[in-house]
Structures are given as structure tokens and as C-alpha cells.
Chain A
Amino acid sequence: MTVLVKGAGVAGLAAAFELSRRGIAVEVVDAAETIGAGASSYAGGMLAPYCEREAADEAVLTLGLSSADWWEEAVPGEVIRRGTLVLAAGRDSGELDRFAARTRGYEWVGGNAIGELEPDLAGRFERALFFSEEAHLDPRKAMAGLYAALVERGVRFHLGSADAPSETSYSAVVECTGAAAIATTPGLRGVRGEMLFLETSEISLSRPVRLLHPRHPLYIVPRDSHRFMIGATMIETDDDGPITARSVMEFLNAAYAVHPAFGEARLVETGVGIRPAFADNLPRVLDHDDGFAIAGMHRHGFLLAPAMARQLAERLCGAKHPPFSPNPSFRQGAIQ
């Protein structure tokens, strides 16, 4: 039995990894020439189930709790466990209380503790929430690591349209096509996300910093080489055109509010990705005509891909007689 995984983004790579570790022969196909060509490369890479709980269902927290462990096992050394710091400007201090009331897993920290956690932010904020158990990773490095691990296990990749295999020669197909599935999956919609990279050696951060604001909450995730990923908007459209001036202004304005040194940083990259989402913004493993699909990762690709990949593998291995009986319609899988 060989399974074909369609899509080499975070969901597809995680699915291939989870199947391959169970001894299932896997091949991966993607119409793009590179892995992570969709929204995955623009992800924040925050493994922050407690912070996400503030504006997401409890399932995001429960499914996301073991995510950092999964990534550490899959791509050793890529997971950085230094927590998340949530800040607000003095006049928006009430937003911190509101945020805290909607989740758990934090401790309140004052100005001195903020300076100990992030020396470059010393004296700039008086109050913050510190989520010590959260982690982050660099999505591009993590996907490259998964790719290398899969190749080492003998997983064959068909990248680029010239190398597309015939789907009928596989015992099951697993669709992990992200935004490309919106047109064919009932109930799936696109949510636009914009981000940018700043580069400066004038300041450094050890962990993701979220700046709360009544209208424009954003996060800054430190990367290697003095880079900072700043994101992300959530706009209800599937328009994947270039980032708008307003979004850039809001990101830069907020970054400047976190630290004025960002004013002299270089803007080295901008990006736009379309996140596929169902009406409840929760991902699903769906039954498909000739296999399964992982769909609707929304803004939780890296946080929830491990849980969805595990669900998929369990269902695929649990099926008695693959290949699967044809099923003309999608059925929604339960979130466990």
C-alpha cells in the first residue's frame, strides 16, 4: 500500500511524516516546484496554544498542547521553548486583563521581570503576561527539516507540474492542498493573512512578543540572522494580491511602538497567504472519494498539523479494506 499525499505544505509534510513513521509507504506531490509554497512559509510558527485560546475554541488548546513535543521529535533542535510575552501599551492596559480573562497558562509579570526576560524591552512596559510553556519555531527551517527527514526515510517527492504522478496507482490519496481546496470543499473559505520581515541588529528578542491593541493586535517572532517576522492580518477574503499599504503601516507602527529601533530596521520581505477555514475556524480530517483530506487549518497550521496528521494516520490505518469505498460527498470528521 502506497499513499499519495497531495500538498507539500505544513499539513502535507506532517501527514507524510506521521504515515511514514507507521511504516506506510508515502509519496508527496505538489504542483509547486518547492515545498511550503502556499501559506505555510508565511506562518508565524508560534506553538502557542494558550495565547491562541484567547480567540479560539478550546479544541485549539487541547489539540495544540502536544504540538511542541511533536515538532521537537520530528525536527530535533528546531523548537525554541522560551514562552510568549504578551504586552500592551500603557493606555491599552485593559486589553491585558481582557486577554488574561479569556485563557490560562500565564503569569503576570511587572516591569523588572519584563526586562529580565527581554533586556531590550527593559523600562518600556510595566505589565505583561508571560506564557512560559509556549514555544516557537521557524516554519521554513522546520519544513526543510521535515522534508530532509522524509527523503531520508525514502519518501519520494514529485514537485512541479511536470512530475505529477497518476493518482489511480495509489491505494489512498490524502489531500492537504490548503487554499487550493477552497473551491471544491463545501464550507471552506479563505482568510487573508499578511506579514512582513524586518531586519535589524540593533535589538534582539528571545521569544515571540504579542502586542495587544483594541484594533490591531500583532506579533513579532524573532528569527535567525537578526530577522523579525511581523504578522498577521485576518481579512475575510481570498484575495491573495500583494500586501496593502495600510497593513504595512499598521505593522510598522506597532513594531515601532514595541521598540523604536524597528524604525531603522530594513523591510526585507512581505508576504500574503490565504488560510483555508471552516465556519468554526477548526481543522478537520475529511473522508474523500479515494482517501482523506486535512482541511481548514486556518491560522493554526504549525500548531495543529501534528494533531491532524495523527488523526489522519489513525483513521487511515484503522480502515479495514483500503483502498476506500467511493463516497461522493465529503463527511466532516469529528474533532477529538
Chain B
Amino acid sequence: MPQFYGTEVRSRLLLGTARYRSPAMLAEAVRRSGTDIVTVSLRRETAGGRQGGAFFDLIRELGVRVLPNTAGCHSVSEAVLTAKMAREVFATNWIKLEVIGHHDTLQPDVFGLVEAARILAGEGFEVFPYTTDDLVVAERLVAAGCKVLMPWCAPIGSAMGPQNLPALRAMRGEFPDVPLIVDAGIGRPSHAATVMELGYDAVLLNTAVAAAADPAAMAEAFAKAIEAGHMAHGAGMLEPRDMAVPSTPIIGKAVFS
């Protein structure tokens, strides 16, 4: 099973906690997904120095590991401040680092991301950076102290699925020993299976589950697809060819292959 900063996890699915119809429905989705990591945003909930409401208690009661995130932060200082607040609220050094560069597409500000990652890693945080599929940025993040990378496969919440498979494949090839988690843009289980077939370690989902008509059933569907994609990667898949290959001899025709 994958290890993130030395912690072995049982599930390759990480689940976001936003946008569910109710905390009860979130809890059911967490249970059905089998996940043992949920991400939680703090930026708005802790505005004005608050420690957050009872929702955070409900999150703690889920009995899974919490990966707090800096969603909604648009600058390095905001993200660093939110990470420190998260460490206090959830007593963890883990932080999913988001520094949003583009208000509309929520594309990460990769320059701010690298800077914030360096600051936080220097202060003992274990940083999970939400980044693009750019290899140079990924190298800088690793140099800044990140031991996990979380590339998008499409913009957050877009549900478009993998938009650039060669880039994701290149990242896997470039960083064979860094745990890679596809963080954003997954819309349906087949998307998750596709990136897992590339050899990715895990997938992080939120909207695709939370906004489904039946979030708990969708969570389980994703868990199965992720497991299937992972298993298929390990089993060694056939590469596509441009013509049929009969699996039994063809009577009356010589076969020269």
C-alpha cells in the first residue's frame, strides 16, 4: 500500500468533505468509500482567528486521518497562515497546499506554491502540493521538500477527466519513487481508473462524489474503479495494436506473425 510521509494508508482514494448535502451524507460516503484520508478546508471556517465550528468535530469523529487544505488561499502568506491554523485545529503536520493563481479556473499559482512549500517544509510541515502536470514545477516542489505530488488532471470541479495523459505518464516516469496523487478534475470512475492504470498511487475526489445524486454509492463506485485501475497496472496491460489478433488458429490461412 502507498506511504505518504512514512504513513502507510489502506485506501488509494482520498475524499474531500465539501459540498455534501449534509454531514450525515458525507459520513456515509466516507464509510462506503473505505477511504482513510479526508481533506478539509479551513480558510473561510477559521476566518477571524476562529477554531471552526462543530463541523470540525464531526470530521474528527469520522475516525479517519485528516489532511487539512488551504483551499481558497490566493497568496503565499494566506496559505502559510491557514496551514498553521490547520496544524493547531487538527494536530497534524500534513497540509494539502493550494495557492490559487487564477480566480476563475482555480489554476494553481505554481510560483507561490513552490515558495509556500519551501516555507512550510522548513517549519516541519509535510506538504501535499496541488500542482499542474508541469515537470519542472514538480522538480522544484521536490527540491523544496515535498515528498508527495498532487497534479491535477483537469481544472478543479470540472469533471472533465484526464486532459493530458502523456503529461501524466511523463510525470509518473520522471518521479518513480515519489507518491503521486491525481488531485483535481476527475468526473467519473472511468477517469479514476484511467489515471490509476498509468501507475498513479492514489486519487483525490470531492465534487464527483459530493454532487452525485447518491454520494455514498458513487464513493463506492470510485473505490472499486481506483482499485481496478491499480490492480490492472500491476498486472501488466496489453498495448493496443492496429489490427485484430485472433486467439485461436485461423483454419486454412497461414499465420506469419
Contacts and interface: CB of A to CB of B under 8 A. Distances in A.
Interface of A: 55-57, 98, 101-102, 182, 188-192, 214-215, 235-239, 241, 244, 246, 277-282
Interface in B35-56: 44-48, 50, 52-56
A183 to B, nearest CB: 10
Question: Which of B25, B44, B56, B211 has most A Cβ within 10 Å?
Answer: B44
Contacts of A277: 22
B34 interface: no
Question: Which of A192, A236, A239, A244 has most B Cβ within 10 Å?
Answer: A236
5 contacts: A57-B21, A192-B53, A235-B44, A238-B53, A244-B47
Contact of B27 (A235, A279, A281): A279
Given A102-B213, A189-B58, A215-B157, A239 B50 contact: yes
Contact of A235 (B23, B24, B25, B45): B45
A55 B47 CA distance: 25
A12 to B, nearest CB: 23
Contacts of B56: 236
A22 to B, nearest CB: 32
Nearest to B155: A214
A98 B211 contact: yes
A236 B21 CA distance: 13
A92 to B, nearest CB: 11
Contacts of B57: 189
B50 A281 contact: no
A77 to B, nearest CB: 34
A41 B52 CA distance: 24
Nearest to A242: B48
B21 A56 contact: yes
A237 B22 contact: no
A96 to B, nearest CB: 14
A208 to B, nearest CB: 21
Q: Is the interface of A mostly helix, strand, loop or mixed?
A: loop
B21 A189 contact: no
Question: Which of B23, B27, B45 has most A Cβ within 10 Å?
Answer: B23
A135 B53 CA distance: 32
A183 B180 CA distance: 42
B25 A238 contact: no
Given A188-B54, A191-B55, 18 more contacts: A56-B22, A98-B211, A101-B213, A189-B23, A189-B55, A189-B58, A192-B53, A236-B45, A236-B53, A236-B56, A237-B52, A239-B48, A239-B50, A241-B48, A244-B44, A244-B47, A277-B22, A282-B22
Give the contact-size bracket for chain B.
20 to 34
A144 B157 CA distance: 43
A215 B56 CA distance: 21
B214 to A, nearest CB: 11
B213 A190 contact: no
Question: Which of B27, B50, B54, B213 has most A Cβ within 10 Å?
Answer: B54
A313 to B, nearest CB: 26
B114 to A, nearest CB: 25
Question: Which of A191, A237, A238, A277 has most B Cβ within 10 Å?
Answer: A237
Question: Which of B46, B48, B157 has most A Cβ within 10 Å?
Answer: B48
Contact of B21 (A214, A278, A281): A281
Contact of A190 (B24, B54, B58): B54
Given A57-B21, A280-B25, A182 B54 contact: yes
List the 8 shortest-distance A-B pairs measured between CB atoms, nearest first: A189-B54, A236-B55, A281-B22, A280-B24, A237-B53, A279-B24, A279-B23, A238-B53
Interface in B139-178: 157
Nearest to A55: B21
A237 B50 CA distance: 8
A239 B44 CA distance: 11
A241 B44 CA distance: 13
A314 B50 CA distance: 41
A249 to B, nearest CB: 10
B55 A239 contact: no
Nearest to B157: A214
Question: Which of A246, A277, A279 has most B Cβ within 10 Å?
Answer: A279
A192 B55 CA distance: 11
Contacts of A188: 54
Nearest to B55: A236
Contacts of B157: 214-215
Contacts of B27: 279
Interface in B1-48: 21-25, 27, 44-48
A281 B25 CA distance: 10
B161 to A, nearest CB: 14
Nearest to A187: B54
Contacts of B24: 278-281
A279 B22 contact: yes
Given A55-B21, A280-B24, A239 B58 contact: no
B25 to A, nearest CB: 7
Interface string B198-239: 000000000000010100000000000000000000000000
